[in-house]
Every structure is written in C-alpha cells, then in structure tokens.
Chain A
Amino acid sequence: MEKSLIIRDLHVNVEDKEILKGLNLELEKGKVHAIMGPNGSGKSTLSYALAGHPSYEVTGGEVIFEGQNILDLGADERAQLGLFLAFQYPMSIPGVSMANFLRTAVNSVRKARGEGEMRVPEFRKLLNEKMASLKMDRSFAGRYLNEGFSGGEKKRAEILQMAMLQPKVAIMDETDSGLDIDALRIVSDGVNALKNPEMSVLVITHYQRILNYLKPDYVHVLVDGRIITSGGPELALELESKGYDWVRQEFAVPA
C-alpha cells in the first residue's frame, strides 16, 4: 500500500519534558487511522508536533510527507503541502469573517502550489456547497471566525475548513470532545463525505464513540509517548471494553 505519511522515531519535548519517546507510525493513502490513548499519553502533542506548533520541540526522528521531511517546515508550509489539523480547541479571531479567512487560506495554499487565485464567485459557490453539505446556515460565512461559536459549531467550522482546503492528510484531534450525539453525527458525516482515495485521515481520540461513525481501517494505541500496538477496528472495541490498563499489561509497557 502507498504511504501518505511516515513517522519515524519521533521524539518531542514540551517545556523540556519528553512527551513523545520514539513514535513510529505509517499512514496509508485513502485510509482512516485511529489513534487511541489515555490522558497524558501524548495524543495532542503528536497532532501539534505534526502540524508544526513552535512550542513543541522535536528532538529526534523524522516525518516524511509528500516526499520530504517536514519537520523543518513552518506550520504554513506544512498546510500548503496538504496537511490539515482539526483542532480540539479552535481559536477565535475577532473581526475576521469565516469567508475572508477561508478565502485567504485557500488562496495561500493555491499560491504555494503555483495555482492562480480562486475568484470570488467561484469561491462563494464552493463555500456555499460545502456549508450546505455540513448543514451550516449561510450566515455562518459572515460570522467572525469561531467568535461566540458553540462547541458543535466550532467543530463543524473545522470540518468546513478541511472541506475547503482538501488536504492529503487530515488529523482530527479529539474532535469528539464536547460534542453531543447529534453534533457528532453531523461532524462525522461531514468527514465521511470528504473521504477519498487521495486523503488519509488520522483520528485521535480517547473514546471509541466517534469510531462508530468514522469507521477506521486501522487502530493504533498510544501509551506513554509510543505506539504500543496496532490492529483493525476490533482493537478499538476491545480497548473500550477492557480499558487502557489492560493494554498496558498486555503489551508490557516498560516503566
């Protein structure tokens, strides 16, 4: 199978404390991978480090994406290559409308790829289509980015951004947190509608719940900064019923 993203022996420090301790993972093109792990295992660190947050210090390893090690690239350049992170806690940017933001983002990515700027009518049409598919009211486009959005609205806005940017690898950082069942379904339907043979999805979650909707092809278990086991969708169910202590013992995590 063709790989879209390869993580080799990734070490990441946060405030001088090592959080990821040699993480290995390969994502297959067009597949949904889930990473499950208990609190403090390094789930969010992984997503921020992949997206290029400056506070997450990479001390070793490499991440190969689109034929290059992206660890020296800025967050913007990684996004331009086709990496996307759906945030667990999206930031609000007062005064910047969703539509203006998305247009700047879409055109930044296009420019980096040597493509021409998307014209306003074409952009509007695309935006309206994507919003309709996520059951978002048109007024959303005029609202300030995440400003005063409910939890569910924020997550839908993240998926809308993903839909507009059409990434090759989409990382979803605990997208299920704080969502009620209806919102979870809408968000999951949105992601499922975006699935295509060119895009890999990495779902990072504490709970199995979202995996009922975003059916993963592979499940990886992250404990104490490393992937300690991988398997098919059945692993998620097993984990849900037996708990993380079971997996710790079963796979003999060294202290």
Chain B
Amino acid sequence: MAITEEQLRTSEDQYKYGFHDPEDYVFKSKKGLSADVVEEISYMKGEPDWMRQFRLKSLRHFDKRPMPQWGGGGLLNEIDFDNIHYYVKPSDRAEKDWDDVPDYIKNTFDKLGIPEAEKKFLAGVGAQYESEVIYHNLQKDLEAKGVIFLDTDTALKQYPELFKEHFGTIIPPNDNKFAALNSAVWSGGSFIYVPEGVHIDLPLQAYFRINAENMGQFERTLIIVDKGAYVHYVEGCTAPTWSTDSLHSAVVEIIVKEGGRCRYTTIQNWSKNVYNLVTKRAAAYKDATMEWVDGNLGSKLTMKYPAIYLMEPGAKGEVLSVAFAGHGQHQDAGGKIVHVAPHTTSTITSKSISKDDGRSSYRGLLKVHPEAEHSKSNVRCDALLLHENSRTDTYPYIEIENDRVDIGHEATVSKVGEEQLFYLMSRGVSEADAYSMIVTGFIEPIAKELPMEYAVELNRLIQLEMEGSVG
C-alpha cells in the first residue's frame, strides 16, 4: 500500500516519517517478556547454547534490577513491559540486493532515502526493520581487505570466535537495567571488524526502522577497530507515530585498538512516542581515538550517555552531543569519559535546545582514575531555551582522583533574545526563520563536524522541528 503525499503531510507534528506499513511478518512474538519468550528468540535464531544462557542470565539481571528513578523524570515508570512485542521478524534473511528485499519494506527505505544514499556516499549499508536486518551490503574492495560488516546475528554464525571474544566485554549484561534487557532479547544491529591498518574512507551506515505498534527494538552493535584502522559508522532511526509507546533499547560496544580511530555518528529521529534508552560504550587503547557524535531529535524520552574508557596512554576521546527537546519531549543526554590511563585526553561538547515545554538535560560523568596523571579533559555544555516554559538542567558529575591533571568545565544557558529576533526580522526574515537561524547557529560547532550530507540532514530536521514554533 502506497502512502500518499497527503498522508505524509498531515502526520502529527510534521513528523515526516510517521507513516507505517501493514504488517506481513514471518514471526511476531506474543506481547510480554518471559524466559519462554527469550528461549523462543534464541531458538528461532538457531543460536549456540552459550548465547541462550547469556540471554537467560541477562533476563534474570533485568528482573532483579529496580527501575532507575533518575533521568527520566518518572517517565520510565510508565513503560508497560507486558504490552511490548519483543521480537518481530519481518523476513527470513538479510538480503545483499535491494531487489530481493520485500516490496513494502523496500518502499519504506526508499522513502527514507537509504538506497540512494548508499549509491552516493556510503561504503556500506545495513537496514534493520523491526527486529531483523533485512538488507546488508559492503563495497567489494573492502570485503577483499577483510572488513566485516554484517548484521550481528549473521556475525555470530559466521565468526563465532571473534564474536565471543568481544561480545559483552565492554557492556556486561548486569551493567544497567536496560543493558540487561537488551542482552536478553537482542536482535539485529551491526557487527563491524576493521582489520589492522585498513582505512575505510566513506562512512558505513545502518538504518533502524520500527514499524509495528507496541514494538520493542533491541539491536546490538559491536565494532572492533584493529590497530591503526579507521571507520566512521553512522546510524539513523525513525518510527511511525502510534498512539501507544514503543521501546528502543540498544547496546553498542566498541573496541578501538592501538592507533585506531572510530567515529560513531547518530542522528536519532524517533517519533514522539518512542522510549529511547540506549547504552553506548567504547574502550580506546594506546594512542587510539574514539569519537561519538550524537544527535537526538525525536523520541518521547531519550536517556543516552555515550561513554569512552581511555584504557592506555595516548588514548583520546571526544563526545559531541546535540539534543532537541520539543513539546512533550524529554532529552536526557550527555556523555561519560573515564580516564583509566595516564596521558589521555578527552572533550565533551554538549548543545541542547528546548522548545515549548520540552525538557533537555545534560548529564555527564568525567572520571579520572588515580593512575591517570597528566590527563586532560574539557567539558562544555551549552543550553538554549526558546520559550518561557522550556526547561534545561545540567548534571555534571566530576570525579578526579589525581591532582596532576588538566580539567576544564564550562556551562552556559541562554535564551533566544527579543533583540536577536528583532535584528534578524528587521532584514525581512520571518520570525520562524529567525528562530531557526539562531538554533542552527547554536549547533553549528557540531554540525560542522559532520559529513556534509549529515549536517544538511541535521539542519533540515531541526528546521522541521522549528516549523510552527511561533505562536
């Protein structure tokens, strides 16, 4: 069934990706979470026993842990875990050719512009629909160099040893309640291995799409960047606008070995009924560099603090975070850096925008271990409030256990001023465009770090959010 332009336009809050497809699935687990559901997922995937055990153990962690009472402003308590489908399998396998992807899914990704982007500026693409990756492809020359870019389920089958060696080592299942949930019911996600010295010039991209109502998406991503290698991985995500809430709870683990570099860019644009509760963590070894670029626009509640553990001397970590909280949204975002080794450096730059009654929070942790002398860190968080009822909070946790370090921290809150608006409007710019311009300028320091296509996308999404922002 084709979605008309008209339907796209009238979707709530101008959210362009609010359409949904009729369901025609191979398998959909019944609602609710239990050991049976976990067993069923593992059975359907034909997993080795260790993974089945891992899942069941994780479920026990999930059941045991209390719901966190921080960060979500009480919203977390509203999640009805019994009303969620934990596993939905739309098709039997991940295709390597778009032509083989079922038509209705292909249409969705066409609308999202994925195949087109692949042709233009990507080295490889993965596309996940509900619980499973339905398309995966990597440029042939990279395959020949030994680069692995697969959906995580396939990687478990094809590279069992490499997989088992790293899986769950950065984020153990008992790390937090939602990491435990993901570990129990994970499905899909990307597995990337970049061999020593291989430099992947174009980004690899994965696109995550939730379609069904009351759906839980729990992808699991594992990236291993070997010595001196480089990869830029980009993920995007959208979902239809349903009247009830969906849950997205991913786990992303990254290992950057000596002299390697990994950049991980997210443009999260979930519809405004999705809980987005994600655990992302990277370990950077000697002289390695890890960069998180995190753009959070959509969702009802996002709680996400990409973390970097600087494990060996010379390791560098950078977190760039942009959050946009519009009407009814709460973005609790930030970053977490742990200096484990001496001579490590880090920066966190956070920019948040709150519009209408939207609420954004910066929540960050900077921790310097006693051994991490001569480490340097700089944290900067800026908040921009657009309206009188907009809200922002800053929670910067700093734990320094060594005196011989260089730490900077700066936080600002500003309001869009009448004088700035008047100045722009006196040049013929409409009030809405003036707001947009001020917001675009505010995030410019982060947008300029993105490849052009993504910077354009980020600005476009923010402009969409800004439409109708003026009374």
Residues on A facing B (Cβ under 8 Å) = 51-55, 74-76, 78-80, 84-85, 87, 90-91, 93-96, 100-101, 104-105, 108-109, 112, 144-145, 161, 165
Contacts and interface: CB of A to CB of B under 8 A. Distances in A.
Nearest to A162: B427
Contact of B429 (A51, A91, A104): A104
A96 B428 contact: no
Interface stretch (B194-202, B237-245, B317-325, B439-447): B439-447
9 contacts: A76-B428, A79-B429, A80-B428, A91-B419, A101-B427, A104-B433, A108-B433, A109-B427, A144-B441
| B contact patch SS | helix
Given A54-B422, A104-B433, A95 B442 contact: yes
Contacts of B433: 104, 108
Contacts of A74: 425, 431
A112 B428 contact: yes
B420 interface: yes
A93 B442 CA distance: 9
Given A55-B418, A108-B433, A95 B445 contact: yes
A85 B426 CA distance: 7
B441 A75 contact: no
A93 B428 contact: no
Contact of B443 (A84, A95, A104, A144): A95
B430 interface: yes
A85 B372 CA distance: 56
Contacts of A161: 427
B429 A105 contact: yes
Contacts of A144: 441
Given A94-B441, A95-B445, A108 B428 contact: yes
B427 A79 contact: yes
A108 B440 CA distance: 17
Contacts of A104: 429, 433, 437
Contacts, number: 82
Contacts of B427: 79, 84, 101, 105, 108-109, 161, 165
B388 to A, nearest CB: 15
Contacts of A96: 437-438, 440-441, 444
Given A96-B437, A105-B428, A108-B430, A91 B423 contact: yes
Interface residues of B, number: 24
A77 to B, nearest CB: 8
In the complex, the 5 A-B pairs of residues with the closest C-beta atoms, listed nearest first: A95-B441, A95-B444, A79-B428, A96-B441, A105-B427
A112 B428 CA distance: 9
A78 B425 CA distance: 9
Interface string B301-328: 0000000000000000000000000000
Contacts of B461: none
Contacts of A78: 426
B424 interface: yes
Contacts of B429: 76, 79, 104-105, 108
Interface in B391-445: 417-420, 422-431, 433-434, 437-438, 440-445
A161 B427 CA distance: 8
Given A54-B418, A55-B418, A101-B437, A94 B428 contact: no
A165 B429 CA distance: 12
A29 B434 CA distance: 30
A134 B183 CA distance: 64
Contacts of B437: 93, 96, 100-101, 104
B428 A53 contact: no
A55 B422 CA distance: 10
Given A76-B426, A91-B419, A108-B428, 17 more contacts: A53-B422, A54-B422, A75-B422, A75-B426, A76-B431, A84-B427, A90-B423, A94-B442, A95-B440, A95-B441, A95-B442, A95-B445, A101-B424, A104-B433, A108-B427, A109-B428, A112-B428
Nearest to B423: A91
Contacts of B417: 91
Contacts of B425: 52, 74-76, 79
A85 B428 CA distance: 11
B433 to A, nearest CB: 6
A142 to B, nearest CB: 12
Nearest to B441: A95
Nearest to A48: B422
A75 to B, nearest CB: 4
B435 to A, nearest CB: 12
B322 to A, nearest CB: 12
Contacts of B426: 51-52, 75-76, 78-79, 84-85, 87
A91 B420 contact: yes
A221 B444 CA distance: 45
A132 to B, nearest CB: 21
A76 B437 CA distance: 14
Q: Which of B417, B429, B433 has the most CB of A within 10 A?
A: B429
Nearest to A112: B428
B441 A165 contact: no
B418 to A, nearest CB: 7
Contacts of B428: 76, 79-80, 105, 108-109, 112, 165
B412 to A, nearest CB: 11
A28 B427 CA distance: 22
Nearest to B442: A95
Contacts of B424: 93, 101, 105
B423 to A, nearest CB: 4
B295 to A, nearest CB: 15
Contacts of B442: 94-95
A80 B433 CA distance: 14
A94 B446 CA distance: 13
Contacts of B419: 91
Contacts of A95: 440-445
A52 B426 CA distance: 8
